[in-house]
Amino acid sequence: MSAQTQITAEYVDNVRFEVRTRGHRVLCDQPVNNGGDDGGMAPPEFLLASLAACAGYYALRYLSARGIPPAGLQVRVTAEKALQPARLASFDIDITAPELDPEQEDGLLRAVNACLIHNTLMHAPVIRTTILSPVAA
């Protein structure tokens, strides 16, 4: 991955956006009870998906490096919402893994907790917001 990652979310209709990077596209929408058509994951779900996939990747790398077959490896992430300001206030990462001894479990936890998304959430990044004018056609 390059030092800079770029994602573009372009308005489609209603409350849907097409999110693009590196030639990949996904649809972001809201649940019906939030004004959407439920045609895709909502932004908080993308965040949880990123954390789950990142944790899963680090878990896989740990298991593979030790010759442990990853059959049955699964990561579930849940979050609790909070208000003022509106945010996801806590995350729980549950890992289903092949049978491991206590030392391997500790190693797997260290590996998962070293994932990029986990570290980003643990150490608040700088976020700069700018308003740009549309490019004339």
Give residue-wise pLDDT tens across range 75-94.
999 999 999 999 999 999 99
- The stretch 54-68 carries a mean pLDDT of 98
Which amino acid is present at 115?
Answer: C
**Spans of all domains in the chain:** 1-41, 42-125
What is the predicted pLDDT for the residue at 134?
A: 84
Q: Which residue has the higher pLDDT, 94 or 5?
A: 94
Q: Please state, for a pLDDT cut of 70, what percent of the chain lies above it.
A: 98
Spatial distance between the Cα atoms of 40 and 25, rounded to a whole number of angstroms: 11
pTM: 0.90
The two tokens of residue 102 are 């206590």
Does the pLDDT at position 2 exceed 70?
no
Write down the CATH number for the domain with range 42-125: 3.30.300.20
The two tokens of residue 48 are 């949880």
**Biggest alpha carbon–alpha carbon distance for the chain:** 62
What is the predicted pLDDT for the residue at 33?
A: 96
- The stretch 4-25 carries a mean pLDDT of 95
